[in-house]
Structure 1
Amino acid sequence: MIHPTLRKKQRISYYVLLALILLTAITSIGLGYSPISYDRLMPAILGEGTFKEEFILFSIRLPRILITLLAGMALALSGAILQSVTRNDLADPGIIGINSGAGVAISVFFLFVPVEAGAFAYLLPIVAFAGALLTAVLIYIFSYSRSTGLQPIRLVLVGIGFSMALSGVMIVLISSAEPEKVDFIANWLAGSIWGADWPFIVAIVPWLLVLIPFTLYKANRMNVLSLSDPVAIGIGVSLEKERLVLLLAAVALAASAVSVTGGIAFIGLMAPHIAKAIVGPRHQLFLPLAILIGGWLLLLADTIGRNLLEPSGIPAGIMAALIGAPYFIYLLLRK
């Protein structure tokens, strides 16, 4: 039974996070290379603004805000799943190479597979999932030992090795690509929110509508998986089956996110830790908070980054790394 105090703290945290997301979104709408006056936001939303105001709002700012929120939520949930399945607080889809695997698949697809422009946005998450899944399987194989099972520290080290190797593959692809296609891969590597358009939102939403409820449904199983193997087996949990299913969910969430945002790390690392610090380690409590925290963190990183240097700004992936890398080092030293 969950203590009522924790439930109350969870509800208060919901309201605070929703307020932060709304405040950051409103701030993000008004700021930028072509700013919109805040007193003109409501007329523009109601369709009573000028053509320029409505174009900036509905064709540029709102799609970017929504895609950033959705991607941050997906990355946070993916990180939470990976940390539970591997029992490793340092696990993150960006750090352990899953994002890089998706990036290589997307780059190969973009460079060498002819596809109609209308289908491009909808095929990207599928291609990213295939690349991320192959990478995750290889990392799992190299991290697993028959005698000791899945070793958390080895998982991080193997994942970092795969991440570096796959980033090198992307550099090779850049060197052999046509000049007009180099910008796409470079932006992906930097974590630029490049898929900020309505078709990309339509492409990513179905993945989240299926995977977020599924993961919340599996919260009790994830509580058990966080215990030792003998305890989980004694309770009657099929370890390998549950790990495989949840790993597939984590890979799919990460792939759907990075297919539209590029290589963004540390969101999946920080959000679950912050949520656990607020309401504790029970998955029923911290997973919903981690989802909101992940969306807010990426939205905040993108809002700050794109307004620091005009007109291009600093990619959200770099801003997230500036915040997350010191936190990762702190966790590594503490653990």
Structure 2
Amino acid sequence: MAQPTFETDNNNSNISSEDRRQYRRNVTVLLTLGLLIIIAFVLSMNTGFIRLSPLDTIRTLFGGGTEKEQLILFDFRLPRIVISVLIGAGLAVSGCIMQGISRNALADPGILGINAGAGLVVLIFVAYYPNMGTASIFLLPVLAWIGAGVTAAIIFSLSYKRHKGLLPTRLLLTGVAVAAGISAATIVITLRINPEKYQFVATWMAGSIWGTNWKFVLALLPFIVILLPFVFSKARTMNVLNLGEMTAIGLGAKVSREQIVLLAAAVGLAGSCVAVSGGIGFVGLIGPHLARRLVGPKHQALLPASALTGSFMVIVADMLGRLILQPSEIPAGIIVAIVGAPYFLYLLAHSR
């Protein structure tokens, strides 16, 4: 009897050692991603039609610099960079949630039409509201959340089958169909607005980070600060949901309730981000996939890795968009789509 006990203890020791190695690896990956974001943040502060040298940037950050340099850095670039970090994290975590609760590797708030639903409500408000005062800026994320929530409810209700749960293929096809319908409605609205607003709407639909002042940062920040920690606290629950509905029920999880709560969090993140970033797609698809390759499938590490990966993607995309065709700008959504569309086709070709 002693020999089997010894072997069991040895196996437990091996498992514990493997867990420690994986933990150290995950910490290293997260710290590396954080460092990459800091580097991209610094480079982005120096990128634009008016160049600021690293020394000028540092001097301006610490209260020096000319009035013009302070205006460029504090009033234009820093809010835009901070928003890029926030929306990258929000969209990537939203995609990670949707992939987890639906067990569909192709789930993404952009592909499923949730971003389009949020964007439609924001577009209606921007197109027909006479001015954009401070109150309306703080109202935009709420309106986008409502639009995204209604769209998500339609998609998931059409994709859910009793006794079978969410059907991944049906979810994807329903999302694509709903997104196509919303896109058609969006085009009709853009044809009816005045020419002055059409240019703004067209740029916004392409994924331009248009909310480039601190008021938009303050409007977006509560959604990110509240929802991200809440989703991180649900990491163990998401691990259980990934085992399948019947297995999760057998383990004591309240599957339907947890799916609804997590979906509401994903919709809140996606909708609030769309309100200030426009139609940036594929971040919610690529971010979680890259994070999964780096840290594995456990959501304790996958969720923060997705947030950091998404932030890095958007901040780099926005920086490249401001750099490539100076003095003109390419919307960040187009830069992300150049990479995201081929990656989506690759995943579609290799999915079962």
TM-score bucket (shorter structure)? over 0.9
* Alpha-carbon distance in structure 2 between the residues aligned to 1:20 and 1:287: 17
- The percentage of aligned residue pairs carrying the same residue is 44
Residues 18-55 of structure 1: per-residue CA shift (max 9 Å, x gap): 11111111111111111111221111111110111111
Q: Counterpart amino acid of 1:93?
A: P
8 A contact 2:47–2:322 mirrored in 1: no
8 A contact 1:76–1:272 mirrored in 2: yes
* Alpha-carbon distance in structure 2 between the residues aligned to 1:185 and 1:119: 20
1:216: Cα distance to partner?
0.6
Aligned to 1:159: 175
Structure 2 residue ranges without an equivalent (≥5): 1-15
Q: For 1:124, which of 113, 134, 140 is the aligned residue?
A: 140
Structure 1 residue ranges without an equivalent (≥5): none
Q: For 2:33, which of 17, 25, 29 is the aligned residue?
A: 17
> The residue matched to 1:231 in structure 2 has which SS?
helix
Alpha carbons of 1:139 and 1:16: their partners in 2 closer, same or farther (altered >3 Å)?
Answer: same
Q: Counterpart amino acid of 2:218?
A: V
* TM-score (structure 2 length as normaliser): 0.93
8 A contact 1:103–1:188 mirrored in 2: no
8 A contact 2:106–2:348 mirrored in 1: yes
> The residue matched to 1:3 in structure 2 has which SS?
helix
* Alpha-carbon distance in structure 2 between the residues aligned to 1:291 and 1:70: 9
* Alpha-carbon distance in structure 2 between the residues aligned to 1:184 and 1:127: 19
Q: For 2:194, which of 178, 181, 188 is the aligned residue?
A: 178
Q: Counterpart amino acid of 1:235?
A: L
Aligned to 2:294: 278
Q: Which moved more, 1:33-42 or 1:200-209?
A: 33-42
Runs of 4+ in 1 over 3 A off after TM superposition: 113-116
Residues 67-114 of structure 1: per-residue CA shift (max 9 Å, x gap): 000000000100000000101010010111000000110011122345
Aligned to 2:12: none
* TM-score (structure 1 length as normaliser): 0.97
Aligned to 1:327: 343
1:147: Cα distance to partner?
5.0
> The residue matched to 2:65 in structure 1 has which SS?
coil
* Alpha-carbon distance in structure 2 between the residues aligned to 1:312 and 1:132: 31
Residues 299-333 of structure 1: per-residue CA shift (max 9 Å, x gap): 01111112111223110001111111111111111
8 A contact 2:102–2:166 mirrored in 1: yes
* Alpha-carbon distance in structure 1 between the residues aligned to 2:226 and 2:50: 36
* Alpha-carbon distance in structure 2 between the residues aligned to 1:42 and 1:242: 46
* Alpha-carbon distance in structure 2 between the residues aligned to 1:227 and 1:202: 38
Q: For 1:7, which of 12, 23, 36 is the aligned residue?
A: 23
8 A contact 1:233–1:239 mirrored in 2: yes
Q: For 2:228, which of 205, 208, 212 is the aligned residue?
A: 212
Q: For 2:61, which of 17, 22, 45 is the aligned residue?
A: 45
Matched, 1:169 2:185: yes
> The residue matched to 1:265 in structure 2 has which SS?
coil
Aligned to 1:233: 249
Q: For 2:313, which of 293, 297, 321 is the aligned residue?
A: 297
Q: Which moved more, 1:78-87 or 1:174-183?
A: 174-183
Q: Counterpart amino acid of 2:295?
A: V
Higher Cα Rg: structure 1 or 2? 2
8 A contact 1:63–1:196 mirrored in 2: yes
* Alpha-carbon distance in structure 1 between the residues aligned to 2:251 and 2:47: 53
* Alpha-carbon distance in structure 2 between the residues aligned to 1:184 and 1:119: 20
Matched, 1:193 2:186: no
* Alpha-carbon distance in structure 2 between the residues aligned to 1:106 and 1:113: 10
Matched, 1:258 2:274: yes
Aligned to 2:13: none
* Alpha-carbon distance in structure 2 between the residues aligned to 1:115 and 1:85: 39
Alpha carbons of 1:271 and 1:54: their partners in 2 closer, same or farther (altered >3 Å)?
Answer: same
Q: Counterpart amino acid of 1:97?
A: G
Aligned to 2:43: 27
**Aligned-residue RMSD, C-alpha:** 1.3
